[in-house]
């Protein structure tokens, strides 16, 4: 009887882990699909960014490999369930993600030690990061990413950018003008 109870409990854990895994894969693939859609819209308006289509094909691929994979499964599930995630492993995975993917400003830091996230909220940073070394193509992918997130969350990418500018990231005047042009692609 006790072993039957233990088996049931173990199966619940396995089923929940399987459910978390499936949710992560579906949600992440949906996000990548939306990044591809946003990239196509940018390229339709600005053909000089045609390499963005190839970049969108491999967008966020690192989330499917360690050290990001396991923590991102948990993070994605927690967000889905409305659970605040301040797990140090998740923060480390996020730091790995933003410093190894060119569509994040932190990738372009001369000193990767300057990359930072708030230990209580991984969507915030403790200090403003200099993004001025970020090339235009990487900015275009970043905008496609922001727009995809906006569609997913029902948020406005421009409003989000205005809240982050010179708080989370500092961009050059040229970059701010480019960001403005690219965000207009999605505005009516």
Q: How far apart are CA 33 and CA 148, in angstroms?
A: 8
Query: What band does 7 get if pLDDT is binned at 50, 70 and 90?
Result: very low
Q: Please, what is the average pLDDT of the chain?
A: 89
Q: What is the pLDDT of residue 58?
A: 96
Give me the sign of the Cα torsion angle 21, 23, 25, 28: negative
Q: What is the pLDDT of residues 63-84, one digit of tens each?
A: 999 999 999 999 999 989 888 8
Q: Spell out the residues 6+ positions from residue 100 whose beta carbon is closer than 8 angstroms to its own.
A: 62, 107
Q: What is the pLDDT of residue 50?
A: 98
Q: How far apart are CA 95 and CA 104, in angstroms?
A: 10
Q: What is the pLDDT of residues 113-170, one digit of tens each?
A: 888 876 777 777 888 999 999 999 999 999 999 999 999 999 999 999 999 999 999 9
Residue with the larger pLDDT of the pair 3 and 75:
75
Q: Spell out the residues 6+ positions from residue 53 whose beta carbon is closer than 8 angstroms to its own.
A: 36, 39, 40, 43
* 50-63 average pLDDT score: 97
Residue 101 confidence (pLDDT) above 60: yes
What is the chain's length? 188
Q: Domain segments of the chain: what residues? A: 2-184
């Amino acid at each position: 009887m006790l072993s039957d109870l233990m088996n049931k409990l173990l199966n619940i854990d396995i089923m929940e882990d399987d459910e978390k895994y499936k949710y992560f894969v579906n949600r992440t693939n949906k996000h990548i699909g939306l990044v591809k859609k946003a990239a196509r819209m940018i390229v339709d308006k600005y053909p000089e960014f045609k390499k963005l289509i190839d970049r969108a094909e491999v967008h966020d691929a690192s989330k499917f490999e360690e050290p990001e994979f396991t923590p991102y499964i948990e993070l994605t599930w927690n967000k889905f369930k409305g659970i605040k995630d301040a797990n140090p492993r998740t923060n480390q995975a996020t730091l790995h993600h933003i410093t190894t993917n060119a569509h994040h400003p932190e990738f372009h830091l001369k000193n990767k030690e300057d990359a930072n996230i708030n230990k209580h909220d991984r969507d915030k940073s403790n200090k403003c990061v200099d993004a001025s070394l970020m090339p235009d193509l990487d900015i275009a992918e970043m905008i496609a990413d922001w727009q995809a997130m906006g569609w997913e969350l029902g948020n406005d990418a421009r409003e989000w950018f205005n809240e982050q500018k010179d708080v989370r990231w500092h961009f050059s005047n040229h970059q701010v003008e480019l960001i403005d042009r690219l965000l207009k692609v999605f505005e009516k």
